[in-house]
């Protein structure tokens, strides 16, 4: 062995390459870790509520047991309002998604109408949600129309811009290979564009669900006499802070449930995509 | 330049500039029916520009191009189903399985789904991918992906196939196996093929004729490769050396290829 070789072999591996320098993988898979973290945060919050309730009156911070009782009362007596809110949420999110996909797709595929559509979307994103809510109250008498309108004008830009970005991010290589078979515009859409933007739809859906829930509740508070928002308004005006907490608790559960549902659909729809974990 | 059968691809005095850069300078050659012609050259010699011209992706500034009797840039749609391309990278659609990728061209040509699936499976079998039909792209090795890419091109039963450095991203053993399979399939089905490469061994192993291009896609040397040439190591080595001399490069990659 030459001296050079011996010297090379004697050198320690660079710090970045030593196994001990790499962060260790957790014991749990990503989903399990998420669930455990959520449970831990809930326990900490309940503990904080319990401690705080010992120092302040019940109408400011009720103990968790009172909130749980109020939650049970709501679940058994006010389930129709939960259902109404859910139906409104599903209808408006589904319609916003479809309209957003159509607008985003048109922006991505038709250069002539892109500037006009983009201008409309950008202006829409600049209008505060509250303005839309107040305008909806003036413009529409039917509460369902008001809420549907409010959610649609707020949510459509998220989907449209995301789909537009998705189309712009289409790899040129894949466009070339599909075009080498001389497809029609519809075939390009079917075989290339639509499958490519599906992850963008899921990403946007996961991003807007929490926001959509907040908006539907807010819209119900302003523009309707039914649904979770209106019941929260009633609880506030009758000083039932335990019910306000209970509704909030249910909304958080609703959000987690919907996020989980969307994530499950995403896993099924995007089974072709390998899960990558960065160490 | 003479070709084997009636020319299916013909370029006459084709010139293409990009701004002030002369990419192709009055290039003329033809590829006969059932013939395999390699365009060999260094990076920047204009090989890819020639391929883009015959595929119709770009139009020439002057001269004429005929592919299966059509002007590829003007009669783009008329070549539907008559030509297919296998690219340098596999370019598989990641959301489709191997067989779904292989049937892509057939579905675009409006072949009924069942028939498209049957033909795609048969081609995957021919490129030795039985058992991997329903795997997604990320589950396939580089060589397997390139085989799917080849099956996708061949499945539409084109009369002309363009190969764009299709074996250059693969390791030598995989590239050699794939070249052998392609050569066998092209001969069996009488495909006309134009392929560009910078690897001398690719050209010698597959092509009936190799056109060695220098800057401006000027043809500096034409080598006719026969089965006898391939069977004779000395003849192959001599051809290798002649081509390398014309290319005149110290490109490490090519020298490594030459050394093999």
Q: What is the pLDDT of residues B227-238, one digit of tens each?
A: 888 888 898 898
Give A104 or B214, the one with higher predicted confidence.
Answer: A104
Counted domains in chain B? 2
On whether residue A32 sits in a domain, the answer given is no
List, as ranges, residues 33-92 from B with C-beta within 8 Å of A. Answer: 55, 57, 76-77, 79-81, 83-85, 87, 89, 91
* Range of the structural domain that residue A216 is part of: 76-269
pLDDT number for residue A4: 44
Residues B91, B62 within the same domain: no
pLDDT bucket at B121, cuts 50 / 70 / 90? very high
Instruction: Indicate whether B184 belongs to any domain.
Output: no
Contact between B113 and B107 (Cβ < 8 Å): yes
- As given in the structure block, the two tokens for residue B48 are 């890819």
Between the alpha carbon of residue A221 and those of residues A123, A216, A218, B38, the distances in Å are 25, 8, 5, 72
Cβ atoms B80, B21 nearer than 8 A: no
Nearest-Cα distance to chain A for B197, in Å, is 18
CB-based burial of residue B74 (10 Å sphere; 0-12 exposed, 13-18 middle, 19+ buried)?
A: exposed
CATH of the domain at B216: 3.40.50.300
Q: Is A173 close to B87, i.e. CB distance below 8 A? A: yes
- Of B106, B132, B157, the position where a domain reaches its end is B157
Lay out the sheet containing B160-164: strands in order across: B83-86, B160-164, B192-197, B36-41, B209-214, B218-224
Structure tokens, A7: 């010297």
Is there a domain that residue A46 lies in? no
What are the C-alpha distances in Å from B32 to residues A173, B6, B187, B190, B229? 29, 5, 14, 11, 20
pLDDT at B5: 61
Is B4 found in the same domain as B18?
Answer: yes
Q: Residue A222's domain is classified under what CATH number?
A: 1.10.3720.10
Report pLDDT digits (tens) over A164-192: 999 999 999 999 899 889 899 899 999 99
Structural domain count of chain A: 1
Contact in structure between B178 and B184 (CB atoms under 8 Å): no
pLDDT tens for residues A123-148? 999 999 999 999 998 999 999 999 99
Collapsing DSSP states into helix, strand and coil, what is residue B26?
Answer: strand
B191-213 pLDDT tens trace: 899 989 888 888 888 899 999 98
| Residues B73 and B127 grouped into a single domain | no
Q: How confident is the model at residue B36 (pLDDT cuts 50, 70, 90)?
A: very high
Verify whether the Cβ–Cβ distance A181 to B84 is below 8 Å: yes
pLDDT digits (tens, 9 = 90+) for B153-202: 989 989 999 998 888 777 788 788 888 888 888 888 888 999 898 888 88
> Residues B89-120: pLDDT tens digits?
889 999 999 999 999 999 999 999 999 999 99
> At which of B112, B135, B157 does a domain end?
B157
pLDDT at A30: 63
Residue contact A272–B79, C-beta within 8 A: no
The answer to whether residues B134 and B196 belong to one domain is: no
- Higher-pLDDT residue of B253 and B83 is B83
The predicted structure's pLDDT at residue A247: 94
Beta-carbon neighbour count of residue A139 at 10 Å?
11
Closest CA to A95 of A165, A147, A163, A156: A156
pLDDT, residue B76, reads 78
Q: Within an 8 Å CB–CB cutoff, is residue B96 touching chain A?
A: yes
Please measure the distance between the N-terminal and C-terminal CA atoms of chain A and give it in whole angstroms.
37
Distance (Å, whole) CA A65 – CA A44: 15
Residue B2 structural domain? 1-80+161-168+191-254
A164-187 burial string, b = 16+ CB within 10 Å, else e?
A: bebbeebeeebebbbbbbbbeeeb
A182 and B96 in contact by Cβ < 8 A?
A: no
- Tell whether B216 is covered by a domain: yes
What is the predicted pLDDT for the residue at B250? 47
Nearest to A177 among B91, B97, B138 (CB): B91
Residue B259 lies in a domain: no
Within 10 A of A12 (CB to CB), how many other CB atoms are there? Answer: 7
The answer as to whether B63 is a domain residue is yes
Give the angle A35-A39-A44 at the CA atoms, nearest 5°. 150
Q: Which residue has the higher pLDDT, B83 or B44?
A: B83
SS (H, E, C) A138-172: HHCCCHHHHHHHHHHHHHHHHHHHHHHHHHHCCCH
Q: Is B14 on the interface with A (CB under 8 A)?
A: no
pLDDT band at B260 (very low <50, low <70, confident <90, very high): very low
Q: Which residues of chain A have pLDDT under 50?
A: 1-24
Is residue A67 one of the residues assigned to a domain? no
- Asked if A182 and B87 come within 8 Å (Cβ–Cβ), the reply is no
Cα angle value A81/A84/A87 (rounded, 5°): 150
Say if the Cβ atoms of B108 and A181 lie within 8 Å: yes
pLDDT of residue A5: 43
Establish how many alpha carbons lie within 13 A of residue B221's alpha carbon, considering only the half-sphere containing its beta carbon. Answer: 20
Q: Report the alpha-carbon distance of residue B110 to residue A190 in Å, rounded.
A: 13
* Residue A188 maps to a domain: yes
């Amino acid at each position: 062995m030459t001296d050079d070789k011996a010297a090379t072999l004697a050198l320690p591996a660079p710090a970045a390459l030593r196994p001990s320098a790499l962060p260790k993988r957790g014991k749990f898979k990503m989903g399990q870790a998420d669930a455990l973290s959520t449970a831990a945060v809930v326990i900490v919050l309940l503990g904080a509520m319990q401690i705080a309730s010992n120092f302040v009156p019940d109408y400011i911070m009720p103990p968790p047991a009172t909130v749980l009782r109020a939650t049970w009362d709501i679940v058994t007596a006010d389930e129709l309002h939960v259902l109404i809110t859910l139906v409104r949420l599903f209808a408006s999110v589904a319609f916003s998604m479809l309209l957003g996909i159509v607008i985003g797709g048109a922006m991505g595929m038709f250069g002539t109408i892109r500037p006009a559509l983009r201008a409309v979307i950008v202006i829409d994103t600049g209008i505060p949600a509250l303005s839309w809510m107040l305008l909806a109250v003036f413009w529409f008498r039917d509460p369902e129309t008001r809420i549907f309108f409010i959610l649609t004008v707020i949510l459509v830009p998220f989907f449209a811009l995301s789909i537009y970005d998705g189309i712009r991010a289409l790899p040129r290589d894949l466009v070339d290979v599909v075009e080498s078979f001389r497809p029609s515009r519809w075939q390009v859409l079917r075989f290339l564009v639509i499958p490519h933007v599906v992850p963008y739809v899921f990403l946007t859906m996961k991003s807007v669900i929490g926001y959509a829930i907040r908006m539907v509740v807010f819209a119900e508070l302003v523009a309707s006499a039914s649904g979770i928002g209106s019941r929260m308004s009633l609880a506030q005006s009758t000083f039932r802070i335990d019910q306000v907490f209970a509704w909030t608790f249910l909304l958080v559960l609703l959000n987690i449930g919907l996020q989980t549902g969307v994530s499950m659909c995403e896993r099924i729809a995007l089974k072709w995509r390998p899960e990558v974990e960065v160490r | 330049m003479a070709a084997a059968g009636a020319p299916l691809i013909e370029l006459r005095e084709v010139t293409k500039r990009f701004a002030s850069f002369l990419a192709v300078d009055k290039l003329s050659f033809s590829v006969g029916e059932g013939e395999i012609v390699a365009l060999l050259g260094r990076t920047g010699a204009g090989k890819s520009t020639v391929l883009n011209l015959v595929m119709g992706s770009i139009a020439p500034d002057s001269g004429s191009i005929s592919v299966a009797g059509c002007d590829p840039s003007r009669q783009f749609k008329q070549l539907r189903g008559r030509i297919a391309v296998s690219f340098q990278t596999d370019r598989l659609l990641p959301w489709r399985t191997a067989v779904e990728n292989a049937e892509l061209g057939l579905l675009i040509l409006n072949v009924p789904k069942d028939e498209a699936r049957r033909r795609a499976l048969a081609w995957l079998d021919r490129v030795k991918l039985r058992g991997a039909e329903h795997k997604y792209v990320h589950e396939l090795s580089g060589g397997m992906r390139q085989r799917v890419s080849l099956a996708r091109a061949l499945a539409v039963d084109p009369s002309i196939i363009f190969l764009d450095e299709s074996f250059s991203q693969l390791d030598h053993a995989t590239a050699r196996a794939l070249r052998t399979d392609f050569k066998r399939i092209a001969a069996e089905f009488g495909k006309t093929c134009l392929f560009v490469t910078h690897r001398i061994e690719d050209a010698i192993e597959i092509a009936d004729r190799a056109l060695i291009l220098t800057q401006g896609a000027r043809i500096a040397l034409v080598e006719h490769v026969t089965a006898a040439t391939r069977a004779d190591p000395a003849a192959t080595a001599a051809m290798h050396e002649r081509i390398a001399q014309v290319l005149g490069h110290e490109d490490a990659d090519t020298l490594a290829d030459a050394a093999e």
